[in-house]
Structure 1
Amino acid sequence: MPPVEKISTITEKGQVTVPKPAREALGLGYGGRVAGERQRQTASRAPSLDV
């Protein structure tokens, strides 16, 4: 799978829209949850796992 590089902007309310190509690549749909992780100077996103 080729890398998906898109830029999102954080709104005044602290919300972020995940671009459609990124949602499709991550298998995210309506109501999907995303966890973020900071690594050095970059951030990564992955689908959150509900336990």
Structure 2
Amino acid sequence: MAQDVKCAVDSCTFWKHGNRCSADMIKIEHYSEERAHTSHQTGCRTFKPAEGL
């Protein structure tokens, strides 16, 4: 498993300096019944909006 998970979504409460993700776990799901073939067909369900944005 990766030791360092990067994230460029600075509007997420789990985003930390250096584009690091501080979430305890990450949940990824796909948007349709079909198999995902690109990153645009998936979504990170761990996202939680940061306060003050």
Question: Normalising by structure 2, what TM-score?
Answer: 0.32
Name which one, 1 or 2, has greater alpha-carbon Rg.
2
- Structure with larger RCO (C-alpha < 8 A, sep 6+): 2
Higher strand share: 1
Question: Normalising by structure 1, what TM-score?
Answer: 0.32
Higher helix share: 1
